[in-house]
Chains A and B, each alone.
Chain A
Amino acid sequence: MSATMSAAARPETAAAPPPVVRFQNVVKTYDEDGLKVEAIRGVSFAIPKGRFSMIVGPSGSGKTTLLNLIGCIDRPTSGALEVCGEDVGTLSDDQVTDFRSRNIAFVFQTFNLFPVLTAYENVEYPLLLLRVPSAERRARTLAMLDAVGLSDHKDHRPNQLSGGQRQRVAIARALVKHPALVLADEPTANLDTRTGAEIISLLRKVQLEQSVSFVFSTHDPQLISHAEDTFPIRDGILLEARR
């Protein structure tokens, strides 16, 4: 228990920026048909701002659950959770939805692009949700597509793109709105090694340009080697963080 406490208990110096995520005794229990599964068993830790952080653990250890909690698409069974300085547990459904729209972006393992929209429209979509004016929207969308190297494919639908290209569109879609926090649940799991490496270097590049906080879950050693912070998790319990 002391190991898990240490990350949160670490004293913050005046110079250190406040963490982007802070967990305090968070428990998440799934209750399916009366069968209780304790996926997260009381974790307290903080993820620093503007870093490449990774939650690492074997399958079933609770990575996805933890990431869902950070992404505010799931609520803790107990404990307090602060994201981007906001106590998200107190927000209503619509408030938390709008909070996600402004602050959080997801990159999914299965890309999850909208199949009826072109690459351009997929990237533009988060800006529409934020009611960004059309000229600015267009400029930012095109710039983002350019940054991920897909300017030539902007009018393609997802089914006309390769897996790597789809994940690039997904990354562009995540980053176009300048979120405070980008979450990716095993982003390279559905890609071959070479494409995975390309995606990782792309993410690194973008992260250096925008001061975004990245939080990934993974057990891909190739990805882990790029981590600035690592949060190992086993059976719903966080082990000592490595920095």
Chain B
Amino acid sequence: MMTFKIAFRNVLRNRRRSAMTLLAIAVGVIGIVLFGDFVRFVTAGLETNAVDKVGHLEVFRTGYFAFGAGNPAEFGIDDYASVVKAIGDDPALAGKLSVVTPVVQLAGIAGNFALDVSKTFLGTGVVPSDRDRLRLWDEHGVNRRRLLPDSGLRDSDEARGIVGVGVARVLGLCEPLKLDGCPARPKKSGPDGAALAVNLAGLAEAERPSQSPPDDDLARIDLLAATAGGAPNVVNMLVSRAEPQAARELDDNFVAMHIALAQRLLYGRGTPKATGIVVQLRRTEDLAYARQRLAQMFSERHLDLEIRDFADLQPFYKQAVGMFRAIFLFISLIMGIIVLFTIVNTMGMSVMERTTEIGTARAMGVRRVGVRRVFLLEGAILGAIGSTIGAAFAQVIGMVVNRASLTWTPPGQAAPSPLEVLTANSMGFVTLVWFAIVLAATLAALIPANRGARLEVVDALRHV
């Protein structure tokens, strides 16, 4: 108690110097807290952005991840419905699952034969309601203010699909889809395109009579792909919407459709399969557990399946998070060093000035460790006060930022989202920074504290 009293009053003794020290610590804490929380926010955003599309885990037929791009149909999961059911019913995963849904990945050529245009596409077949539920995932609360537009897909309408804005532009769908800022196609040029279009149109015509009568208000495109057997196949898709995608390459190739339509294209009238099963968890922290549990389940059932997580599926996530972490580490290091040097300097001057006091205390019977304790405590007190001031200021800055309704477009995302820092979610992080800085301040004080403790009594007393 007395030690604390002495330490605390000595902090107040040289107010100017203590104030400068506290300022340095506070600035360091503000920097670390604000930038660190921004990184936390970005990471949560990137994670959400990945997980609300590809889930946490995706189950593939073994080999699909490495070779499936060549011919996705070949790596279909047999009887995927029973696997989906087995995962959903697994008691070990009960309460941890958010969505378990099959998907079909495919590639082919999309054509708008009314205009004689076509282009390659990368398509996904989804269960529309499951896709909607995937998109609602928001464990970190980063999407609270985001309004999800109607996906444009319906469980009840197998013919419907959506395309990337780039696909819509190339296929001349800007007008029918009423897209803003989407230039109309220039008049088409050579005869080559026409010849191809005619060929595809022929195939498409053959497919058309078997379709239900189309809604007349929706644009129609034709999708051409090779079936699992290698034969060309064509289906009709009604384009209900253009959905912007973040990366240009994706936007120019993106097609999503009802899983039944994708299966008809890939498997024709054969047994429909899924190329993957997406597993979304309620909480990311269960990822490792769920992954291990699924692997165990598949091996018990002798299923030839492999599991990938969203970081495998979206390498961009890993890279972006890695980069932000590196910058954060760098900033923290610099701030930490500033704090360290300030404390060493301040406490060093303190020890110098109080040499006679140290000698007096030692003569009166204070052990070396007692001298060290006072100065360590002073470092800790400076650290604690400075950190508290810094955290409070950061909180105020955070409130101002949040009130300002700033938006930003995170890397890898198409639409801007609200920028929010230092929300209730950040308290754990702020507490951690607080303790880290107090610890750093205490450790920094160790150097001058030891110098004080090592003084010989007579030398200290002789000091003027």
List chain B residues, Cβ under 8 A from A128: 2
Which B residues, 334 to 378, have Cβ-Cβ distances below 8 Å to chain A?
Answer: 356-357, 359-368
Interface string of B429-455 (1 = CB under 8 A from A): 000000000000000000000000000
- The one of B6, B10, B357, B362 in contact with A73, judged by C-beta atoms closer than 8 angstroms, is B362
Q: Is B17 an interface residue (CB 8 A)?
A: no
List chain A residues, Cβ under 8 A from B308: none
Is A97's CB under 8 angstroms from B458's CB?
no
Closest Cβ of chain B: how far from A87's Cβ, in Å?
A: 19
Q: Is A68 an interface residue (CB 8 A)?
A: yes
Which A residues, 59 to 100, have Cβ-Cβ distances below 8 Å to chain B?
Answer: 68, 71, 73-74, 93-94, 97-98, 100
Is B458's CB under 8 angstroms from A125's CB?
no
Is B457's CB under 8 angstroms from A114's CB?
no
How long is the Cα–Cα vector from A220 to B279 in the complex, in angstroms? 93
How long is the Cα–Cα vector from A112 to B360 in the complex, in angstroms? 7
Q: Is A115 an interface residue (CB 8 A)?
A: yes
- The one of A94, A97, A114 in contact with B360, judged by C-beta atoms closer than 8 angstroms, is A114
- The one of A68, A100, A108, A112 in contact with B365, judged by C-beta atoms closer than 8 angstroms, is A100
Closest Cβ of chain A: how far from B148's Cβ, in Å?
A: 62
Is A100's CB under 8 angstroms from B367's CB?
no
Q: Is A106 an interface residue (CB 8 A)?
A: yes
Is B2's CB under 8 angstroms from A97's CB?
no
Closest to A134 in B: B1
On whether A100 and B10 interact (CB within 8 A), knowing A73-B461, A74-B457, A112-B356, the answer reads no
Which B residues, 41 to 63, have Cβ-Cβ distances below 8 Å to chain A?
Answer: none
List chain A residues, Cβ under 8 A from B357: 112, 114-115
How long is the Cα–Cα vector from A125 to B366 in the complex, in angstroms? 10
List chain B residues, Cβ under 8 A from A115: 13, 357
A-B contact count (CB 8 A): 65
Closest Cβ of chain B: how far from A168's Cβ, in Å?
A: 17
Closest Cβ of chain B: how far from A134's Cβ, in Å?
A: 10
- The one of B9, B356, B364 in contact with A116, judged by C-beta atoms closer than 8 angstroms, is B9
- The one of A93, A98, A108, A125 in contact with B2, judged by C-beta atoms closer than 8 angstroms, is A125
Number of interface residues of B (CB under 8 A): 22
How long is the Cα–Cα vector from A124 to B205 in the complex, in angstroms? 103
Interface string of A112-130 (1 = CB under 8 A from B): 1011110001000110111
How long is the Cα–Cα vector from A116 to B14 in the complex, in angstroms? 11
Q: Is A219 an interface residue (CB 8 A)?
A: no
On whether A98 and B367 interact (CB within 8 A), knowing A112-B357, A112-B360, the answer reads yes
On whether A100 and B9 interact (CB within 8 A), knowing A73-B458, A73-B461, A93-B368, the answer reads no
How long is the Cα–Cα vector from A114 to B363 in the complex, in angstroms? 13
Is A116's CB under 8 angstroms from B13's CB?
yes
Is B364's CB under 8 angstroms from A74's CB?
no
Is B365's CB under 8 angstroms from A74's CB?
no
How long is the Cα–Cα vector from A213 to B287 in the complex, in angstroms? 76
How long is the Cα–Cα vector from A108 to B464 in the complex, in angstroms? 13
Closest to B6 in A: A116
- The one of A94, A117, A121, A126 in contact with B364, judged by C-beta atoms closer than 8 angstroms, is A126
Is B10's CB under 8 angstroms from A116's CB?
yes
A114, A116, A129: most-surrounded residue (chain B CB, <10 A): A116
Q: Is A102 an interface residue (CB 8 A)?
A: yes
Is A97's CB under 8 angstroms from B6's CB?
no
Is B6's CB under 8 angstroms from A100's CB?
no
Closest to B8 in A: A116
List chain A residues, Cβ under 8 A from B458: 68, 73-74
Q: Is A101 an interface residue (CB 8 A)?
A: yes
Closest Cβ of chain A: how far from B173's Cβ, in Å?
A: 79
Is A114's CB under 8 angstroms from B6's CB?
yes
How long is the Cα–Cα vector from A23 to B366 in the complex, in angstroms? 25
Closest to A173 in B: B364
Interface string of B1-28 (1 = CB under 8 A from A): 0100110011001000000000000000
- The one of A73, A98, A116 in contact with B363, judged by C-beta atoms closer than 8 angstroms, is A73
List chain A residues, Cβ under 8 A from B13: 115-116
On whether A73 and B457 interact (CB within 8 A), knowing A97-B366, A125-B2, the answer reads yes
List chain B residues, Cβ under 8 A from A117: 5-6, 9
List chain A residues, Cβ under 8 A from B365: 97-98, 100-102, 126, 129-130
Which B residues, 217 to 241, have Cβ-Cβ distances below 8 Å to chain A?
Answer: none
Closest Cβ of chain B: how far from A169's Cβ, in Å?
A: 13
Closest Cβ of chain B: how far from A72's Cβ, in Å?
A: 9
Pairs A–B under 8 Å by Cβ, sample size 12? A74-B456, A93-B367, A102-B365, A106-B364, A112-B357, A112-B461, A115-B13, A116-B6, A116-B9, A116-B13, A117-B5, A121-B5
10 smallest beta-carbon distances between A and B, as pairs: A101-B365, A116-B9, A73-B457, A112-B360, A74-B458, A100-B365, A97-B367, A129-B365, A128-B2, A73-B363
Interface contacts beyond A73-B362, A101-B366, A108-B360: sample of 15 additional A-B pairs, CB < 8 Å, sorted by A = A68-B458, A73-B457, A93-B367, A94-B367, A97-B362, A97-B366, A102-B365, A106-B364, A112-B357, A114-B360, A116-B9, A117-B9, A125-B2, A125-B364, A129-B366
